[in-house]
Amino acid sequence: IVTKLPKVGTTIFTVMSALASEKGAVNLGQGFPDFHCDPTLVNAVTQAMQDGLNQYPPMAGVLPLREAIAYKVEQLYGHRYDPVSEITVTAGATQGILTSVLCAVHAGDEVIVIEPVYDCYVPAIELAGGVPVFVQMEVGAAGYSIPWDKVKAAVTPKTRMIMVNTPHNPTGSVMRAADVAALADIVRGTDILILSDEVYEHMVYDGQPHESLARHPELAERSFINSSFGKTYHVTGWKVGYVAAPAALTAEFRKVHQFNVFTVNTPVQYGLAAYMKDPAPYLDLPAFYQKKRDLFRAGLAATRFELLPSQGTYFQCVKYGAISDQPEAEFCKWLTTEIGVAAIPVSAFYNTPRESGIVRFCFAKKDETLRLALDRLASL
């Protein structure tokens, strides 16, 4: 068989998690919590199973969940999506992203992606026969930022889509109002679509708002907005998310979705719908993770790592130039094997080979796990 994805191997997250477990290292690599989710949520899902809600749900997802999502988005971002025609429940954001790209990108279309880029974007574009066009973020004293003039310069008559991610994995940077305005200026008057990956929407710190594209009617009308319950409710293994998009885009999305997964498991959807009636778990999430971020940063400040800002997500990027001059992947392997703490090389998020001497830690961990990692890192 001739491979369709010649550049793709095993993801860096799988590689580093396997090494961490082989070496007994504290795994701050792959992004997932090491603590339990709320038992109320587990009970809600169990209840749905016991109530016999175990057969195929509607293709787009169970209506109570789509209604709960529409309500949340309207409360937080002021845009009303029609739960019937504009919200689709997906098997995690990974499927939402693949399906958004497959339904919109034709062979030869260009898609602008911003590096560092989450690993599933480029394969999705390539499977659609599209051409990824890369623009690199810049790193300065204030952290990572998107050079919008370069994004604008990358637009051609073939540009079909721009993919953005805020809060951003792996950099922890967050798009501000000025970024959104710059994006709006670029697409105004074109037929360019936007894929907005907002899986970390409830993890923005320091009292700042999440600039969902749903807040901006001009952008919402051309956007597939992707989110994931895995991140918000500490259940990354459940693989349930959603895509909100205007009816015309959703109609195309569902044409692919119905032959991609057809639909997503029923009891989890009913459980999530019941659990979402209480907004506290997602409204409290920024404070919950900000405490962990602050604990982790305070510990790292006493090491030789240089901290970059973490404005959102559950990731903290650091420069390690004062500790080692190894390339990032080598440094991460060494850190895992010799020091007992796993991290992810930011170079893994570049298609254009690039070494910036920066690695990513995940702080979605119990305080005791973070303290153990910090004890080990303090020896460096």
Query: Which residues make up the interface to ligand GLN (CB under 6 A)?
Result: 11, 13, 30-31, 169
**CA atoms 21, 229, 290, 118: torsion sign:** positive
Which residues, 207 to 246, sit near ligand PMP by CB under 6 A?
228, 230, 236, 239, 241
Q: How far is the CB of 157 from ligand GLN (least distance, A)?
A: 33
Residue of the chain from 15, 65, 93, 335 that contacts ligand PMP (CB under 6 A):
93
| Shortest distance in whole angstroms from residue 156 CB to ligand PMP | 26
Q: How far apart are CA 122 and CA 133, in angstroms?
A: 10
Q: Considering CB distances under 5 to 8 angstroms, the limit depending on partner class, which of ligand PMP, ligand GLN, none binds residue 40?
A: none
Closest residue to ligand GLN, based on beta-carbon distance: 31
| Rounded least distance, CB 13 to ligand GLN, Å | 3
Q: Give the one entry of ligand GLN, ligand PMP, none that residue 230 binds, where binding means its C-beta sits below a cut-off of 5 to 8 angstroms depending on kind.
A: ligand PMP
Question: What's the Cα-to-Cα distance from 162 to each of 90, 127, 212, 279, rounded to whole Å?
Answer: 21, 17, 15, 31
121 versus 340: smaller Cβ distance to ligand PMP: 121
Kindly give the pairing relationship between strand 193-197 and strand 223-228: parallel
Complex with ligand GLN: residue 227 or 266, whichever CB lies closer: 227
- Under rule CB under 6 A, residue 265 binds ligand PMP: no
Q: What are phi and psi of 130, to 5 degrees?
A: -85, 175
Residue with tokens 């590096």: 115
Positions 115 through 134 that interact with ligand PMP (CB under 6 A):
118
Nearest to 105 by CA among 132, 134, 136: 132
Find the binding residues for ligand PMP in span 167-196 (CB under 6 A): 169
Please, what is the minimum distance in Å from the beta carbon of residue 198 to ligand PMP?
9
Task: Pick the closer one to ligand PMP by CB: 79 or 231.
Answer: 231
The residue number whose beta carbon is nearest to ligand PMP equals: 92
Smallest separation, CB 241 to ligand PMP (Å): 5
Q: Does 201 bind ligand PMP (CB under 6 A)?
A: no
343, 114 contact by CB (below 8 A): no
Q: Shortest distance, CB of residue 256 to ligand GLN, whole angstroms?
A: 21
- For the segment 141-170, give every residue that binds ligand PMP (CB under 6 A): 165, 169
Binding residues for ligand PMP restricted to 23-82, rule: CB under 6 A: 31
